[in-house]
Structure 1
Amino acid sequence: MGLDFLFLYEHIVREFENDALIMAELERRGYSVALHQLMDRKKLKYYFWKKPKVIVPSAMYDNETLNSFVYNNVGKLDKVVNLHWEQVLSREQEEREFYSFTENARKCTHICWGEKAKERIVRKGVPENNAVVTGAVQLDFLYPMFDGYFKSRDELAAEFSLDTSKRWLCYVSSFSCAFMDDKEVEELNAMTDLDFAGFKAVGARSMEVTLEWFDRLLSEPGYQDAELIYRPHPCEWQSPPLAEMKKKHKNFHVISDYSVKQWVKCSNTILTWMSTSIAEIYFAKKSCVVVRPEPLFDDYDPVTFAGVNAADSYEKLKTALDTSETPFPIDEGELKSHYDVDYDYPAYMRICDLLEWTIKNPPRDYPFSEGYTPRFNLLKFVALFVFKALNTLCVDPNWFFFLGKKTAADVKRYMGYYSKARLSRGQVRKKINELRGYIDKADIQKREIK
């Protein structure tokens, strides 16, 4: 028996609960679904007896992505719906073809959170019929129908040794490149035609100064009892400065568990550098401070942060935190123009409508046509199988020292990434069942699918 929809995810905290919400609604409509991590071993069943009718990847940029995400996971398949998790970009990124899709990736169907994203990718060459505005599913969790879904402050306090009687400050980090090695930065530069070396440099400097400010803040009489929760970016791990801060301040916590929304809901004030999760902060009606030790150029700054009122000194940071009510730091109109919000018909319903239309009708377009030649990556197929086996057997990556320091470091990095991004079938099923309860209770009736 074949599979209806196969979802591909990269980062748990960014994507899992969003994917699970869409999958839960699809199951309610009678369809079969599965979730697969991009770094997990390739599964022959998805090429043959459980080949999906529709594949739903986390991203789709060019022929290389088409080859890696689609062909090397399921073979040829023209029904590709891109969840398109990177939509709020910098001015420089908006001008690069990579982020607005090139080659046969343009022939896939692309989900857009609002008209701004649709206008951008259509202007860059995506056929208008292939760009569909659905709203942003991550914002659905802030709707009244999900009251009670997130853990309470008491539950988080018990799990992470936090004090509910104290003020919670949550810093949402975007220092994704600060500790990347030169090889990783060069790969990003080549792939996107952008200066990630410069982004890494400004990120490293900003992170260093931000932590200095936090060190100073947590030594102030009014903040020695506050809980400062540092939520790292999914690509940010093995960071020595964070380990030092944890040692120095018992009320400084580095917690990567759960989504940004979970910590936004339970914290008193949210701080960030340039995280696009500022949308969740805004729609959750939370106090927010943008912390910027130095300015960000348009090359790196998300367009929604244009004209941001940032705390660019320790004194301004302290003043902002001491003030009970401060204006939201970015232009609300600009932010809302990037998100199509319909409180009567959430984004997960609109996305499921699109997926249901896709499975019932001929493809909108044909990515596996002229302009793209499929290429099976045997080396990656074998490597991912080996990494999965090593992870399952709990093999210490340091044992690979005999292959050379560089190779051993690469093995350790990939195994670390895989172990952080891995979900068991039981975890996936539990989350779908949990969300199904909220969906069934809301009982939103689907609209006519056009």
Structure 2
Amino acid sequence: MADIVIFYELPERELNNAYLLKAEFERRGYSVALKDYWNYHEIVFPIKKKPKLVIAHSGYDNKDLERFTARFRPKIDKMLNMRYEQVIAERILNSTLHYPREYLKHMSFICWSEHIKEEMMKQGIPEKNLAVTGDIKTDFSNELFDSFYKTKEELGKEFGLDYQKEWVLFISSFTFNEYDPDEFLIRLNNNLEDGKYMQKWDIETKKIFMDWVKKFLEDHPEKEFIYRPHPAENNVVTEDINMSALEEKYPNFHYIGKYAIQEWVRPCDYLNTCLSTSIIDVYLLKKQCNILRPVPLDPGFDNPLLLHADYIDSYEDFEKANTNKSDNPFPISDEDVEKYYYFGDKLAYEAICDYAEKMIADDSFKNDFYPSNPTFSRIKFIIKKSLAFPKGLPTVFKSAIKNKSSRKSAMEPGNKNAEKISKIIKGK
């Protein structure tokens, strides 16, 4: 087994980050294995050798923790949590839902800024277990990775976009639909009432926004419009049909989930979002971005980066913002960015690997991560799956036997990105 095991959940958000860490760890002499969180192979056939360090993409409580520990036959004792969601709405933070709980508090955690570190310390996490490194995703906006990305012409040829036209990008943050069960709404928010509020806002906002899009497509056939769904966007069958119908009706509309968001920020001429933290990628590339708010949002539910931003709330302003280049100040301030994102002398991936090496060398980072026996956890997971979602049980076993992800994804693991990133790291 590898020295270091890195888990990822949402490939579009995390896989390139995992490749980057892998390349740097290997440069430093470690062996590394990447594991898909939705691949159940190790749940049925657990890993027999204990790694020196396990890196988790996220996690909040014992239930999340056991999804990692159950994959190993020996007890693992050193874990680092990337905690990929750190810029969180006030209502959710006040509920402590997005802070680690129970045995998971024994992990070490990556913090994107000193402010976030201080908030984690208030939750009882020892300072020693908190590393302020910045957000690894922002590394890909550094000039070091310019050669990693496709050109506008290459993307145009791949997806049928006219690369000689101006491109308008919408970075979606719509993750709710009308069929979401109460358990899902509670899971993403601090209670059912808040969950239903966000569900209602999400659905109403998307409906009005899509009306804007249709009118814009009709008014401006000279522009290419790219709808980039959130990696966790819940595309029910009816929505897939609706998006396909739009693509069929409007040749200049493109619904594309493939590739990480940084791939699309670079070539696009006009950028838009409602709530996405990916606005930081736009900021770092020194491009303009429009914050769309056709429906007002309670500040307690808002992305804290966007609380003081200038919003667009009408089609007329939306059209103007996406047809006339502007030299207006960026809609969020440097001070708000620096509160949530640290940029030090090193890139984040280097600082993360430095801290990981410290953890590997220092046995004071060893901890107990076992609310229950690993074998019992595996059996419990399978029983719970069969009782709660019996139709999904075959999916678990199919994933386990074939050693493949159980989740359909727009960005499958592949060697091309890994090779490009490795080449960049080795050639520094």
Same fold (TM over 0.5): yes
Secondary structure in 1 aligned to 2:5?
Answer: strand
Corresponding residue for residue 421 of structure 2:
435
How much has 1:46 moved relative to structure 2?
A: 7.8
Q: CA deviation digits over 1:75-118, x for unaligned, max 9?
A: 53220100110000001122122212122222110001111211
Corresponding residue for residue 195 of structure 1:
194
Residue pairs, 1:111-190, within 5 angstroms: 111-178=110-177, 180-183=179-182, 185-186=184-185, 188=187
Q: Is contact 2:117–2:130 with CA below 8 Å preserved after alignment?
A: yes
Residue pairs, 1:267-282, within 5 angstroms: 267-282=268-283
CA change 1:15–1:190 in 2 (3 A) is closer
- The CA distance in 1 between the partners of 2:151 and 2:310, in whole Å, is 31
Secondary structure in 1 aligned to 2:200?
Answer: helix
1:19 aligns with 2:18: yes
- The CA distance in 2 between the partners of 1:199 and 1:136, in whole Å, is 26
CA change 1:207–1:37 in 2 (3 A) is same
Higher alpha-carbon deviation: 188-197 or 125-134: 188-197
Corresponding residue for residue 400 of structure 1:
none
Secondary structure in 1 aligned to 2:147?
Answer: coil
- The CA distance in 1 between the partners of 2:30 and 2:20, in whole Å, is 14
Q: Is contact 2:50–2:72 with CA below 8 Å preserved after alignment?
A: no
Secondary structure in 1 aligned to 2:330?
Answer: coil
How much has 1:156 moved relative to structure 2?
A: 0.3
Residue pairs, 1:165-314, within 5 angstroms: 165-178=164-177, 180-183=179-182, 185-186=184-185, 188=187, 195-220=194-219, 223-236=220-233, 237-238=235-236, 239=239, 240-314=241-315
How much has 1:185 moved relative to structure 2?
A: 2.7
Q: Is contact 2:50–2:76 with CA below 8 Å preserved after alignment?
A: no
- Give the TM-score normalised by structure 2: 0.89
Q: Is contact 1:55–1:79 with CA below 8 Å preserved after alignment?
A: yes
- The CA distance in 2 between the partners of 1:276 and 1:70, in whole Å, is 30
Give the letter for the 2:425 counterpart: I
Secondary structure in 1 aligned to 2:6?
Answer: strand
Q: CA deviation digits over 1:386-411, x for unaligned, max 9?
A: 426646999xxxxxxxxxxxxxxxxx
How much has 1:218 moved relative to structure 2?
A: 1.4
Which segments of 5 or more consecutive residues in structure 1 lack a partner in the other structure?
A: 395-414, 443-450
CA change 1:381–1:315 in 2 (3 A) is same
- The CA distance in 2 between the partners of 1:266 and 1:422, in whole Å, is 19
Structure scoring higher RCO (CA < 8 A, sep ≥ 6) equals: 2
Give the letter for the 1:36 counterpart: K
Alignment length (residue pairs) = 413
Corresponding residue for residue 63 of structure 1:
62
Secondary structure in 2 aligned to 1:285?
Answer: coil
Q: CA deviation digits over 1:218-262, x for unaligned, max 9?
A: 111xx2110100000112223243233223211110000000000
CA change 1:241–1:330 in 2 (3 A) is farther
1:322 aligns with 2:308: no
Give the ranges of 4+ consecutive aligned residues of structure 1 lying more than 6 Å apart after TM superposition: 190-194, 382-385, 391-394
- The CA distance in 2 between the partners of 1:257 and 1:57, in whole Å, is 23
- The CA distance in 2 between the partners of 1:359 and 1:416, in whole Å, is 29
How much has 1:434 moved relative to structure 2?
A: 1.9
Corresponding residue for residue 395 of structure 2:
387
State the identity as a percent: 29
- The CA distance in 2 between the partners of 1:385 and 1:20, in whole Å, is 30
CA change 1:437–1:163 in 2 (3 A) is same
- The CA distance in 2 between the partners of 1:37 and 1:416, in whole Å, is 7
Higher alpha-carbon deviation: 204-213 or 60-69: 60-69
- Give the TM-score normalised by structure 1: 0.85
Q: Is contact 1:78–1:108 with CA below 8 Å preserved after alignment?
A: no
Which segments of 5 or more consecutive residues in structure 2 lack a partner in the other structure?
A: 386-391
Q: CA deviation digits over 1:336-391, x for unaligned, max 9?
A: 2211113x42111111111111112214252437xx34451326448688426646
Secondary structure in 2 aligned to 1:436?
Answer: helix
CA change 1:391–1:163 in 2 (3 A) is farther
